[in-house]
Structure 1
Amino acid sequence: MSGVVIVGVDGSAPATAAVEWAAGDALRKDAELRIVHALDRYPYAIAGVAVAGPEDVLSRAAEQVLEAAEAVARSRQPTVRVASEVVEGAPAVVLQEQARQADELVIGDRGLGGFTRALLGSVTMKVAGQAPCPVVVVRDGPRERIGEIAVGIDDSDSCEPALAYAFEQAGLRGATLRLIHAWQVPVHAFAPEIFFDADEIHTTLHEMLRRRIAPWEARHPGVKLVEDVQNAHPVDALTGTACDLVVVGSHGRGALGSLLLGSVSRGVLHHARGPVAVVRGDARRHADEQGAGVTVA
């Protein structure tokens, strides 16, 4: 397997965590690790005042950010092929453009203000909602290896790319893949005569899961699977599971289409304690090129 794993860096602690995660995944994929820093001059632009000069402070700072990130990557994974680049422009725009060249894009979460652990930065949300390849959002902080990956599944074809990515990750890591489908009994306070047989629902949903995963199980016979059907909200089910990676799909709806993340993927990004991979529907192209799949929730 080969390709390019791109990680966006800005010198922050979450970006450092993203470099560490990306270096490990590049090693597993036998891919090149490309470290990218977006040099955004706009916040420093003042009408009539030149930002650049004989000694461009911003450019030198950008190079220092890359040097520090490269050092982290090489110390964690000395055998990984590493390249780095400074690209001028707004971070969200730069990273979305870089994602066109990547098999995977990794970024750190960047919360703002007093709700840092609850909210993600606008760059993170824009990139996760629009990048054409899988986007992994990594949080800063110690992580204990669980040996399990979780992926959300529903009964629509839109979860296929996420399934492909999750099966690939589980195979590369030798991890168990937990297949999560969450359902909730509809509120029927005004129609109490409607009866739901929980056992029958569970049986039907497990059958749906088996049909959905059968092609991927055939491609990845070595991956251990756990079927997990829960009577819970999807966000609660996915974020309440202890795992090394949560894989979700992007189901944006409405006039803005791909500019939006679906409510489940957005909720998981906000509240998950560990790394989250967001896989859009058009990531199928990447899966087909690799001869594997991509899993979406």
Structure 2
Amino acid sequence: MDIPLVVGVDGSDSSLEAVDWAVDEAERHGLQLRLVHGSLWERYEGTRPSLATDRPAERILAEHIAASAAERAQRRNPDVKVSSDVLAADPTTALLREGHEAFALVTGSRGRGMLGETLLGSVSLTVAARAVCPVIIVRGEDPARRDGLPVVLGVGERSVTSAAVRFAVAEAEVRNCPLHVVRAWRTPAHEAVEHLLPTGDAPAPTPEQRATDQMDAALRGVGPVRDGAVVRRITAEGPAHKVLADASAEASLLVIGAPRSHGHVGLQLGRVAHALLHHAACPVAVVPQRG
């Protein structure tokens, strides 16, 4: 059975934007769309009289949220196969469990009651930091209307694993858009003078050259992209989170890797990824990487 694209829904405007984006993503990849709502309404059933015939309000609300999201998805694209479910778990637990058999998890950037454009809901943050599959946080202005803009892959000081690179390449290919591989670099204060001093050895590579070498290394071994694909390598001086946030302003999707250590149970999200999930101008895909 094909694994689905899974979307967490909670009735908020942000989650409905995520549904719209995920419908288009499912169509691009030929995937089924699964909408899930985590609810613990069962906890309240035991407090009601045993002879009551009416259903708990919490259950009605949970079912309405899931059904409304499914109806919205079908209206957006009737050709995408959509299913919905209410899961007896808190939203974070429900999504993390679904991630074990998902192409990717999709969430909005803010939950119900969240204020402010830059705030990230705790569910989205925790899922992005713990999931075993890629997680896409749908954020930014008109996230579902960025067709034609490049996919941006952020390459950091740690080597980006082939999983993140392959994900970015595949996303660029299904969108028929360029892939921009971006690496930020900075010159440490001690290097600014030392690398200019004459020595008998060949000059050490500059920070910018090291950044270029890291990009080349990240792209090696992934295999060729489609004929005619545009892959642009970009180096920029400055803090990584700012360089990538600036790049996201003209991107359809920003792809970043996130470390996953075996046996570690806490949040596993680097500082740059954390900042981008709060401030990027486009949807952000967090791809787990081991090592």
Give the TM-score, by structure 1 length: 0.83
- Could you say what secondary structure the match of 1:100 adopts? helix
**Aligned partner of 1:261 among 260, 269, 275:** 269
Match of 1:218 in 2: 224
Q: Structure 1's 138 and 49: CA in aligned 2 closer, same or farther, altered over 3 A?
A: same
Question: Displacement, 1:223?
Answer: 2.7
Question: Deviations for 1:101-152, whole angstroms, at most 9, x for unmatched residues?
Answer: 1011100011687863222121111100011110000126424425211111
State the partner residue of 2:153. Answer: 151
Gaps of at least 5 residues in structure 1 are 285-297
- Whose radius of gyration is greater, 1 or 2? 2
2 CA distance for matches of 1:114 and 1:121? Answer: 7
- 1:237 counterpart residue number: 243
Residue 14 of structure 1: how far off its partner (Å): 0.6
- Is the CA contact 2:212–2:235 (under 8 Å) kept in the aligned structure 1? yes
Moved more, 209-218 or 173-182: 209-218
Structure 1 letter corresponding to 2:213: E
Amino acid at match of 2:218: R
Shift of 1:71: 1.6
What amino acid maps onto 1:179 in structure 2?
A: V
- Residues 60-79 of structure 1: matches in 2 within 5 Å? 60-79=60-79
Amino acid at match of 1:223: A
- Between 1:207-216 and 1:112-121, the stretch displaced more is 112-121
What CA distance in whole angstroms lies between the structure 2 residues aligned with 1:80 and 1:114? 30
Distance 1:233 1:56 in 2: 51
Cα distance in 2 between the residues matched to 1:83 and 1:184: 47
Q: Secondary structure at the match of 1:80?
A: coil
What is the one-letter code of the residue matched to 2:9? V
> For residues 49 and 175 of structure 2, what CA distance do their matches in structure 1 show?
46
TM-score (norm 2): 0.84
Partner of 1:287: none
Moved more, 27-36 or 198-207: 198-207
Moved more, 237-246 or 109-118: 109-118
Query: What SS class does the counterpart of residue 281 from structure 1 fall into?
Result: strand
Deviations 1:22-75 (A, max 9, x none): 111111111110010111349x869x9449963121111111111211121112
C-alpha contact 1:36 1:84 (8 A) present in aligned 2:
yes
For 2:255, the equivalent position in structure 1 comes to 247
Unaligned ranges ≥5, structure 2: 197-202
Which stretch of the first structure deviates more once superposed, 58-67 or 250-259? Answer: 250-259
Residue in 2 that maps onto 1:136: 136
